[in-house]
Amino acid sequence: MQVVAVSHPKGGVAKTTSAAALAGALVRMGHRVLVVDLDPQSSLTLALGHLPNRVWPTLAEVLQYRHGLEEAVHATQVKGLDLIPASPKLALVQRELHGQEDYTVLRARFRSWLNQSSYDYVLLDTPPGQGLLTLNALILAQQVLIPTQPEYFSAYALRYLLQTIRWVRLRFQPLLAYQAFLTMYQSRNRAHAWIRARLEVTLGPGLCRTVIPLDTKVREAAIAGLPVTHFAPKSRAARAYLALAQEVFTHEQQAAGRVEETAGRVESAR
């Protein structure tokens, strides 16, 4: 079983969209998948067809030790894909974690339960920023996938996450691997091509070959409460997410070895 955090410090770079779509792709590849919504905004919960104020119990009750994990697992419209939802209450829990500087509650709560579960993959959708919920996710995960818009600010903010990954590796999880990929890519946009070329140099093999194109089907899929792989399987975005899942989940071992090398290069890049 592989635990994967989907993370980027900047907002709106397609973390939630990618978590849902990659989960859908993994189900299409024959795997059992659990997704966990770690964002108090609860976008992933909504994107998979649940209303944050109606679904209960959620991750907040699990982290407060009020409910067991099993009770917080909810089915989605996709067979083989389960969800632990978020709710606005998670913002309160996040403040409590900050007060206690608690980096490991997620790991304490999930690790042994996950080892006994029948899931092949667990995807953690993190909120923007690098708050305690995000740090908890990175400490539980074995792999971080980093969706990045081909825009200067997103590409620049990547370095903050890579520094955090390095800190997590030193203190908690030496084998934490990462791979970045480009989202909402427009092949005719010269600025996008320029950022892609720069990231190829800076990240080397830490940047996925597969890019996710801009595609309005992604937005329609969220309204329907389905991953794009199931809402519009033939769309450009669905095919790209399937290719991405094949690329990142069949090369896990190589990815693990890349972290040191690429993190060093990124920190020295301007």
Orientation of helix 190-203 relative to helix 252-268, angle to 10°: 100
Alpha carbons 138 and 157: distance in angstroms, whole number: 17
Nearest to Mg ion of 153, 170 (CB atom): 153
Q: Sheet holding 81-84: strands in order across?
A: 74-75, 81-84, 33-37, 121-125, 2-6, 143-148, 177-182
Task: Please count the residues of the chain.
Answer: 270
Helix or strand or coil: residue 6? strand
143-202 positions binding Mg ion, by CB under 5 A: none
Part in contact with Mg ion (CB under 5 A); list of ranges 16-24, 67-75, 114-122, 143-151: 16-24
16 sits near Mg ion (criterion: CB under 5 A) = yes
Question: At its nearest, how many Å lie between ligand ATP and the CB of residue 217?
Answer: 8
Q: Which of 8, 10, 15, 196 binds Mg ion (CB under 5 A)?
A: 15
3-class secondary structure per residue, 170-237: HHCCCCCEEEEEECCECCCCHHHHHHHHHHHHHHHHHECCCCCECCCHHHHHHHHCCCHHHHCCCCHH
Question: At its nearest, how many Å lie between ligand ATP and the CB of residue 171?
Answer: 25
Nearest to ligand ATP of 33, 169 (CB atom): 33
Alpha carbons 270 and 264: distance in angstroms, whole number: 12
230 sits near Mg ion (criterion: CB under 5 A) = no
Question: At its nearest, how many Å lie between ligand ATP and the CB of residue 93?
Answer: 17
Q: Name the binder of 128 from Mg ion, ligand ATP, none, CB < 5-8 A by kind.
A: ligand ATP
Q: Binding residues for ligand ATP, per CB under 6 A?
A: 11-17, 39, 43, 127-128, 183-184, 212, 214-215, 218-219, 222, 237
Question: At its nearest, how many Å lie between Mg ion and the CB of residue 48?
Answer: 12
Q: CB-based burial of residue 117 (10 Å sphere; 0-12 exposed, 13-18 middle, 19+ buried)?
A: middle
Beta pairing class for 81-84 and 74-75: antiparallel
Q: Name the binder of 12 from ligand ATP, Mg ion, none, CB < 5-8 A by kind.
A: ligand ATP
Q: Which two tokens stand for residue 199?
A: 């990231």
Nearest to Mg ion of 138, 259 (CB atom): 138
Nearest to Mg ion of 181, 266 (CB atom): 181
Question: At its nearest, how many Å lie between ligand ATP and the CB of residue 242?
Answer: 14
Question: At its nearest, how many Å lie between Mg ion and the CB of residue 206?
Answer: 22
